[in-house]
Structure 1
Amino acid sequence: MGRVIMIFVWVVVAAVVVFGVWVRLAPSDPGRWHVMPDRVENRDFDGGVMRVVEAGPEGLARLDAVARGWPRTQALAGSVEEGMVSYVTRSALWGFPDYTTARQAGERLEIDARLRFGRGDMGVNRKRVEAWLEKL
C-alpha cells in the first residue's frame, strides 16, 4: 500500500511540474493577444478589466514607460508609434501570463487587460491597470 501511495505522490508532483513548465513556456501569439475589442468601456469582468481614460495625446507613451518598468512585464507586440502596444505580465509564483493591450484613440487611452489561463484573476489585472494609471 505504501508503494502505491508513493507512486501516486510522484505522479502528482510530476503533473504539477509539467503544468508549471507549460504555463511558463507556452508561446504568446501576438495574432491572438495583440488585439483590441471594437468597443472598449470602463468595466470589470471575471478575467480582467477595461479602462478608458482621458490621457492626452501622449498618454500611450507615458503608459508605455510605466508598463516597461513594471515587474515581470515585457512588450509583446506593437509600439507607441503604431498607436497600440500589448504587454505580457507574469505572476511571481507560477508565471501565469496576463495580457494588457493599450491603444491611443485621440485624447483617450483605451486599455484591455485579461488573463490567459483560468476563469478569474482575483482582481490582479484591475489592480495592475489602476496602479499604472496612477503613475501617469
Structure 2
Amino acid sequence: MLLKIIGVLVALVIVFGLWVRVSPLPQDRLSAKPGPDAEGVHPSIGGIKVVRPLSDLPENALDRMVEIAAATPRTERIGDGTDPATFVTRSKLWAFPDIAVIWVEDGNLHVQSHLVFGKGDMGVNAAKVTRWFDRLEAEA
C-alpha cells in the first residue's frame, strides 16, 4: 500500500513537471505593455515593473537591456520585436516560466517581469530585473 502511494505521488510530480514545461504561455502577455507608467519601481504580487528615464541611463539603453536579458541563463527571446521585446526565463528546478517585457515609451525604459503560474515568485523577478539594471548601469 505504501509503495502504491509513493508511486502515485511520484507520478503526480512527473506529470506536474511536464505540465509546467509544455503548457502554452498566455499570448496576450507576450506583447502587453502593462502599467503603471510613472517613473520608479513598482512591485506587484509575483512580479515587478521598473520605469527609468532614458536620460538617466547609458546610450542605447534599450538595445543593451535586450542584450543583457538575452544573455540571462535559461532565457529565450519570444519573437524578434522590439516594441516590446519579450523574454521567457525558466526556473532551474521546475522550469516555471516568467515573462519579461522590455520597451521604450515617452522617454522611459520600461521593464516588466512577472510569473506565469502561481501568485508569489519569492522575489525572483525583482532580483532578476535589478541585476539587469545593475549591469546596464555598470557599462555607463
Q: TM-score range by the shorter chain?
A: 0.7 to 0.9
Return 106-115 or 55-64, whichever deviates more.
55-64
Residue in 2 that maps onto 1:127: 127
Counterpart in the other structure of 1:44:
43
CA contact (8 A) 1:40 1:111 kept: no
Work out which of the residue numbers 66, 71, 78 in structure 2 matches 1:76.
78
User: Hey, which bits of structure 1, 4+ residues long, moved more than 4 A?
Assistant: none
Name the Cα RMSD after superposition.
Answer: 1.7
Contact 1:30 1:76 in 2 (8 A): no
Residue 64 (structure 1) aligns with: 66
Q: Distance in 1 between matches of 2:112 and 2:97?
A: 14
Is the contact between residue 34 and residue 77 of structure 1 (CA under 8 Å) also seen in structure 2?
no
Partner SS for 2:111:
strand
Q: What is the TM-score when the length of structure 1 is the normalising length?
A: 0.87
Is residue 32 of structure 1 aligned with residue 29 of structure 2? Answer: yes
The answer to whether structure 1 residue 23 and structure 2 residue 20 are counterparts is yes
Q: For residues 121 and 21 of structure 2, what CA distance do their matches in structure 1 show?
A: 17
Distance 2:128 2:84 in 1: 18
Distance 1:67 1:26 in 2: 23
- Distance, in Å, in 1 between the alignment partners of 2:124 and 2:35 is 24
Q: CA deviation at 1:111?
A: 1.3
Query: Could you list the runs of 5+ residues in structure 1 that have no partner in the other structure?
Result: none
Distance in 1 of aligned mates of 2:21 and 2:99 = 14
Letter of the 1:79 counterpart: G
What is residue 96 of structure 2 aligned with on the other side?
A: 96
Q: Secondary structure at the match of 1:89?
A: strand
Instruction: Say how many residue pairs are matched.
Output: 131
